[in-house]
Structure 1
């Protein structure tokens, strides 16, 4: 088969897991992406797999290993509970499949580093599904910072919080990698890394986690960090709140705020509000589908790797550093047991 054929043949996606994010966000994105086909969906519940394939195409498969053995699957979208990510991403890479793993890629830094090494050894594409990295609004914000629009940056505050989940939700299961830090806290941490730049390394100064006594998982928390350049970073997260998905950058000359920052719907037009001492303005940006852009970028990386190009992992260092910060927060945070009165 010629390089041209390898570069243009469809990328055939197999799905491991029937998670809500797959149904609502990523499978609609894959099903409409050019040059991408969903060929199989595996779930431990056959009815769930069939429900997915009825809507998105492909065939339902009863077991994860059975899906990995299929020759008509080039790449895996991994939508299993967090605690299963490392095991099945490893299995997929060893089976010669490229992997897009839901965030967090794994539940700790050692497992994340292990996957990155394995993918590099086999020249396979491995990506963590951190979709905000593909929304252009954050690039606009970073350009404003670089251009000095806010003056010297002093503070970054990011918040991703939402109301309590249904009682049986997997995010309340400690043995499957549940908890608010892994589910929501990684968003402001990673956005701070992106905006400040990987070279301005974040270091943890302190953290608090509120622990649910019944499930044992953290249901909210806050972390205080500082960058190498002295910028103070606060990350707030949880699922015992009214909804908020925002961040604020406070500089010496102006303050910039973004609402609906982390998981905006595709039709949403982001608004960047800039406040100065005696002036305020709003920049309204075009709508963008970060999920579709993520799916397209993953497929493009696979096509490039097919022709022998290195399966570059531009976000590997940032993915690993986020995992290291999560480890540090869990290891050092003050833990507050939640009482019935809150």
Structure 2
């Protein structure tokens, strides 16, 4: 069975990951693409196929489209993804699922009512080293996890986004909403939930617009740096740092400290995963590089999405996963703005 797909939003994430992975899938036809900038859509269609639609509505309402990738800007996700689900399409929605909890709930309710697949593109769960690390943790490789630290930083979206200037939508509060926290941080809080197999229940954060300027030369409207202290439901505590001002190498590392040793993931130049036991024993694994802005590799996201459609099975990253990651990041932003520790659980403060 061939699955006919439409891509809405033809920026960097669509060009670097969604479109090429659909084009390489034997059971997918890229049927339509749309972007508010018609030339951008035309360039993507020329490279990967598909007809340029006149509007995103044309794609979600088309009777012969089975699924869409919602690669629109953050503030549009709850509008486009909800409409697509209600129109009977399966949806792969870029992160964050929405910019508000209410928007996320609207999407999840639409998925439940339609019975269609909703998957959120928290692609770090599908990185081979992260899948292996989770398995090792579940097998007790470093015992009970007591503490952790995770980082995700690069030199900023103006170097990565299709609009490679300081006018990028990532710097606009009305469109990005959550700044670096919604761009990079949301990946890492979702990854921690995945690795630890438990939730994050409290956060205390510091954040600021430390360096980035908009096209007018003024400080951007959203945070370009954030550092969080997180507490899990089991009581483990750790830090998470997100930055658009790591002007040297990109950092996408995670270190976990257990009562039987420690585990480094993408934190050692010699191994993708390194375990150091309390006995001094070291175990190193080479699994495969993580995707970076400068080194794109197959993410596995499209394969997982199409498989869920074909098998009518639960996707590896659900709408509920997307909403929990959003709730944690919203709590972090609230903490940074209020100067107080904030519960990540709805209705608690």
TM-score range, shorter chain: 0.7 to 0.9
Partners of 2:5 and 2:30 within 8 A in 1? yes
SS in 2 for 1:157: strand
Instruction: Name the residue aligned to 2:14.
Output: 22
Write the distance in 1 (CA, Å) between the matches of 2:267 and 2:89: 34
1:334 Cα deviation after fit: 4.2
Q: How many residues align?
A: 316
Question: Which runs of 4 or more aligned residues in structure 1 lie more than 4 Å from their structure 2 counterparts after TM superposition?
Answer: 286-292, 310-314
Q: CA RMSD in A?
A: 2.4
* Preserved CA contact (<8 Å) 2:202 2:231: yes
- Counterpart position of 1:195: 195
1:239 aligns with 2:244: yes
SS in 2 for 1:333: helix
Q: TM-score, normalised by structure 2?
A: 0.84
Distance 1:173 1:38, change over 3 A: same
Matches within 5 A, 1:161-310: 161-164=153-156, 165=158, 166-178=165-177, 179-197=179-197, 200-211=198-209, 214-241=219-246, 242=248, 243-259=250-266, 271-277=272-278, 278-285=280-287, 291=298, 293-305=300-312
Question: How big is the shift at 1:304?
Answer: 3.0
Structure 2, unpaired ranges of 5+: 159-164, 211-217, 292-296, 340-349
C-alpha deviation, 1:291, in angstroms: 4.3
**Cα-to-partner distance string for 1:101-143 (whole Å, 9 max, x where unaligned):** 1111111222112211111111011111111222232221122
User: Per the alignment, in what secondary structure is the counterpart of residue 245 of structure 2?
Assistant: coil
Could you tell me how far apart the structure 2 residues matched to 1:270 and 1:35 are?
35
Once residues 311 and 249 of structure 1 are traced to their aligned partners in structure 2, the CA distance between those partners, rounded to angstroms, is 28
**TM-score, normalisation: structure 1:** 0.85
Q: Does 1:98 align with 2:90?
A: yes
2:2 corresponds to: 10
Q: Tell me, which stretches of 5 or more residues in structure 1 are unaligned? A: 1-8, 262-268, 337-342
**1:162 Cα deviation (Å)?**
0.7
Q: Distance in 1 between matches of 2:203 and 2:31?
A: 46
**Preserved contact between residue 305 and residue 315 of structure 2 (Cα < 8 Å):** no
Are 2:203 and 2:335, in contact at CA under 8 Å, matched by a contact in 1? Answer: no
- Superposed displacement of residue 71, structure 1: 2.3
Contact 1:210 1:335 in 2 (8 A): no
Aligned to 2:344: none
